[in-house]
Amino acid sequence: MNFRTASMDTYTKVMTIVFIIFFSVVIFALVQSDQKFVFWPVSIMVAAIVTAYLMIPKIDLEQGSLKIKNTFVDFQIPVKSIKNVELITKTGFNLRTFGIGGLFGYFGYFNGNDVWYVTNVRKKVKIQTERKTYLISPEEPQKLINEIEKLKNNI
């Protein structure tokens, strides 16, 4: 069963638009400056935008596993290993340990070892296993939670 990734929340949309406009202005200024060092800064900025976009995940629940896949990762969380699953709608302070925070979403490690693939902070589903905590944001979070609970009860 496929679960569409949530559309970006307002703050994430604004941050993404601001980043892209800022990067575009800087890239345009660098290209117009007729300097020889333009290639690397422009390449880095374009790579940052493209990489962030490619981090948006696809979420599937099939064959007893929750599958999270984007261009860089493809992993499964067996439903039987899920200890707790809950909807987190409130936002608060989170420490980005390693990853992207705001450009197309929040991807990477936050708050130490929590793995985030979140495009909408108001539709976060927190999935806890014995080893890790994952946060994802499907468009219909309660539907995903219900399906996981249904599968857990049948095991």
Over residues 59-103, the pLDDT tens digits come to: 999 888 999 999 999 999 999 999 999 998 877 777 677 878 889
pLDDT value of residue 95: 66
Between the alpha carbon of residue 69 and those of residues 3, 40, 66, 72, 76, the distances in Å are 12, 29, 10, 8, 9
Q: One-letter amino acid identity for 90?
A: K
pLDDT greater than 80 at residue 155 = no
Q: What is the largest CA-CA distance in the chain?
A: 65
- Both tokens of residue 144? 């995903």
pLDDT value of residue 51: 92
DSSP-assigned letter for residue 138: B
More confident residue, 30 or 21: 21
Contact predicate 3/61, CB 8 Å: yes
pLDDT > 70: what percent of the chain?
98
pLDDT > 90: what percent of the chain?
59
Mean pLDDT of the chain: 89
Give the predicted TM-score (pTM) of the model: 0.84
- Both tokens of residue 93? 């302070």
pLDDT greater than 90 at residue 144 = yes
DSSP-assigned letter for residue 63: T
pLDDT greater than 80 at residue 31 = no
Give domain 1-155's CATH number out of 3.30.300.30, 1.10.150.670, 3.30.70.3400, 2.30.29.30.
2.30.29.30
Contact predicate 86/101, CB 8 Å: no
- Both tokens of residue 31? 């290209």
Residues with Cβ within 8 Å of 71's Cβ and at least 6 positions away in sequence, in order, are 54, 55
H or E stretch including 68? Answer: strand 65-69
Mean pLDDT of 117-145: 93
Mean pLDDT of 103-115: 89
CA-nearest of 152, 5, 24 to 84 is: 152
Contact predicate 97/80, CB 8 Å: no
Mean pLDDT of 47-53: 92
More confident residue, 102 or 8: 8
pLDDT greater than 80 at residue 45 = yes
Domain spans, the chain: 1-155
